[in-house]
Structure 1
């Protein structure tokens, strides 16, 4: 099997293994710092990958994304502050366990569940991605544009609290991506006579601004909150935090179910880890033998969302690798790495760079084992380390590093200006419930969507009717509108329930 050969190759490369291990630790630490997400770390470290081999660069950022998802559980359990949005469900039962002096036990459950979920998702990705790629090779421009369109609608409507604001964020991403030279007619678009805009907006400073500076501005606004950690250094605490098989056994059905839920949601562009975690938590509580204990410190309440959260990681790569459609913000950033190293993503990737793809999967499998081992034995240490980092030192360092990395990407002061403006935009988006993730993913998708749309128009003798007369294209268009309708109905139901509670 190709994955076995890839594993042997990766295990025989000590430099590559060092990068994977570094990614496991960096992602975990960053994920454990409230407010500083894995997406922010990846965006900030992206320029570093310019000087790395393609596989090492991709593996480094890919594993940071995996371990960063897990690292968010540390902050959720210890500080009642989710390190990532996906860890918000973990804190419901994780923090009550910490208050009972069982933080280490909760983190051990989170680690085991995260590893099982991540391995489940990665295995399904390895098994199924080749089949998806083979199908994708048979799709023409009309079908591909319909998939892009469905992705725009799903991402815009599903991510965030508001459909209108989500779609507006996605539309803004498309608009910004059109700045520069028209790829077909070679005419300038939205440049307003500026030479710097003729090359368009670079992905790297845009992402650093949105994810890093935007987060720094948000943290500055919410500064002053002190993080505390429950002391578990005495012998009684150590005995209390020893995880036994009888304690973990009730968690097993929840972990298996949640892993499958997360894997399914991961394939759908834009759904993401946070939705998977809350769906799994709700389903777990519904099926629990003692649902009244959930929310008060149930180990199963930690296991279910963590398994689903991390199971998303692998399957979310499937639409990126096979169709060029990132299923998450981390996937959108990885698009930049592929492009930087001259690798064309999409259905042909499995023809031109098959060995690279399976080696990346192998790095993912090894990275899961690494962050699992480090997390199981060292999560409490990471938590204590995070509490010792003064925020008035951490965020200024992140702020200055952002300027250096934005300038280093192309040696352009204009990119620094783009980063600063994107930082204010990201901060305002979060403040007013618009969605930075939908904005960035749409920015990345827009180029491919425009190209396939124009190709479809060249093929068509009936104009836009080509999307209706081709069954596969029509199916994806219907899927997009159906997702929009279901999301709108769900939000209306939630609004009615909230109104009834207030009445």
Structure 2
């Protein structure tokens, strides 16, 4: 009933429908631009939402995140340059299809699979998020801190190639968050006598710097030659070659269903993200394929599997954010800022005080999936050709200008612009040194809640930190965190051993 009321709220409002459709188009275009992610688009557009209705603001950015994940497949198929990290798996079979003059067919497969995966994830979110919230309401400060701790450890150890650098990135995010006035003692922390730092580091300019300027600096540094595109000639034969029949798509269906559930499960786990989901689904699909030797050479199933998993992550990744206040992805971390800007506290009580808004947001997600599906099925090739015609000498300066305006507009502060620039160079340097900007930002967002619950836990206890061991649920989450690190270390050591045997 809640979701039906949410659908009615969106469908009966022309303004809301307009924002949702616009978000579907904007996300697709940004996702298809190599080097620009949906996270970057959301970070840049965040200041615009200051002046919007809370539901419109949340729906607009939420749908951009969804369509942006899908949009990465356009660049991967057409240009052999994945628009997002998750699209690298789609590129393996998508680009060979494009070279054979079947890019439109490949994009149709990607579109249908993305829509099915996204719908699966969104339905699972709608069905399960209320149950998770009800359980979360029963957790006290010690249990919540243990959840935060597990999230820090899992995110730091799983994201990226190096456990040490991942955990260091997460720790740096926590350290930067402590800048400002201590909320309990009111003493200054790491302000170095600066009045501007007493209020702490603002989230919006920090994210714009990390995700937008950092990406632009990386792209400028690694800019190669001209992108090669294999388009189809405008002929009857080319159009016939790119028609997608049910007979051709039918073998993809088992892969899409399996990959949708793989992506949805991975989406619930903080920090893993759509890139891991896409490659896991691709590997599992190839292992189960009837003709695995065709994968990597232009198999339609090789496009369908990663795209379904990639987009199935979108909905479930919101579950830990909405129920516990823990963002499961970089997009979730940015969404926290939107909630806070509009005075909405994320966490289990959200379903008690803002239930209608939450389910209306889910409804906007469902409509957004349908919108980008229709636009993508009929217009993905046009979007690709449009992006190819934009010269980088125009694109990057425009992104720079937009980023500076967005950083200044958040609080009308030049200090925030400097924060953005410093964060931009920091994001670029972190990528260059194989540290993880995503782990840094997510930890920055989590640190405030973690500190609050940690201090509340100590006030409740006469045993000090032992309270986290004597509470069974808290102990369980601590064990999960350490187990995640152990499993990651074991996995990396096995990979290193396998590589050394291969070299021998």
Is the TM-score greater than 0.5? yes
Provide, for residues 351-380 of structure 1, a one-character-per-residue CA deviation record: whole Å limited to 9, x for no partner: 110000000000000000000000000001
Provide, for residues 413-462 of structure 1, a one-character-per-residue CA deviation record: whole Å limited to 9, x for no partner: 11001000000000001111100000000000000000000001011111
**CA displacement at 1:202 relative to structure 2:** 0.2
| Match status 1:74 vs 2:74 | yes
- Does structure 1 retain, via aligned residues, the 8 Å contact 2:141–2:457? yes
Alignment of 1:369-384 (within 5 A): 369-384=370-385
The corresponding residue for 2:317 is 316
| Match status 1:104 vs 2:104 | yes
**CA displacement at 1:491 relative to structure 2:** 1.2
Query: Which runs of structure 1 show a deviation greater than 6 angstroms over 4 or more consecutive aligned residues?
Result: none
Provide, for residues 320-360 of structure 1, a one-character-per-residue CA deviation record: whole Å limited to 9, x for no partner: 00000000000000000000000011010001100000000
**CA displacement at 1:495 relative to structure 2:** 1.6
| Match status 1:340 vs 2:378 | no
- Does structure 1 retain, via aligned residues, the 8 Å contact 2:98–2:231? no
Supply the distance in 2 between the matched residues of 1:391 and 1:226 (Cα, whole angstroms): 11
The corresponding residue for 2:220 is 220
**CA displacement at 1:498 relative to structure 2:** 2.0
Supply the distance in 2 between the matched residues of 1:12 and 1:175 (Cα, whole angstroms): 46
The corresponding residue for 2:197 is 197
The corresponding residue for 1:441 is 442
* RMSD of aligned Cα (Å): 0.7
| Match status 1:6 vs 2:40 | no
Supply the distance in 2 between the matched residues of 1:225 and 1:340 (Cα, whole angstroms): 42
Supply the distance in 1 between the matched residues of 2:94 and 2:433 (Cα, whole angstroms): 29
| Match status 1:153 vs 2:153 | yes
Using the size of structure 1 for normalisation, the TM-score is: 0.99
- Does structure 1 retain, via aligned residues, the 8 Å contact 2:160–2:435? yes
The corresponding residue for 2:466 is 465
Supply the distance in 2 between the matched residues of 1:145 and 1:226 (Cα, whole angstroms): 50
**CA displacement at 1:488 relative to structure 2:** 1.1
- Does structure 2 retain, via aligned residues, the 8 Å contact 1:229–1:384? no
Alignment of 1:34-433 (within 5 A): 34-232=34-232, 233-433=234-434
Using the size of structure 2 for normalisation, the TM-score is: 0.99
Task: Give the aligned length.
Answer: 503
The corresponding residue for 1:479 is 480
Supply the distance in 2 between the matched residues of 1:231 and 1:119 (Cα, whole angstroms): 30
**CA displacement at 1:231 relative to structure 2:** 2.4
Provide, for residues 108-156 of structure 1, a one-character-per-residue CA deviation record: whole Å limited to 9, x for no partner: 0000000000000000000000000000000000000000000000000
Supply the distance in 2 between the matched residues of 1:500 and 1:100 (Cα, whole angstroms): 37
Q: What secondary structure, in the 3-state scheme, does the structure 1 residue paired with 2:276 have?
A: helix
Greater Cα shift, 175-184 or 489-498: 489-498
Provide, for residues 141-192 of structure 1, a one-character-per-residue CA deviation record: whole Å limited to 9, x for no partner: 0000000000000000001111111000000000000000111111110101
- Listed as ranges, the gaps of 5+ residues in structure 2 are none
- Does structure 2 retain, via aligned residues, the 8 Å contact 1:322–1:347? yes
- Does structure 2 retain, via aligned residues, the 8 Å contact 1:273–1:309? yes
- Does structure 2 retain, via aligned residues, the 8 Å contact 1:180–1:189? yes
Q: What secondary structure, in the 3-state scheme, does the structure 1 residue paired with 2:86 have?
A: helix
- Listed as ranges, the gaps of 5+ residues in structure 1 are none
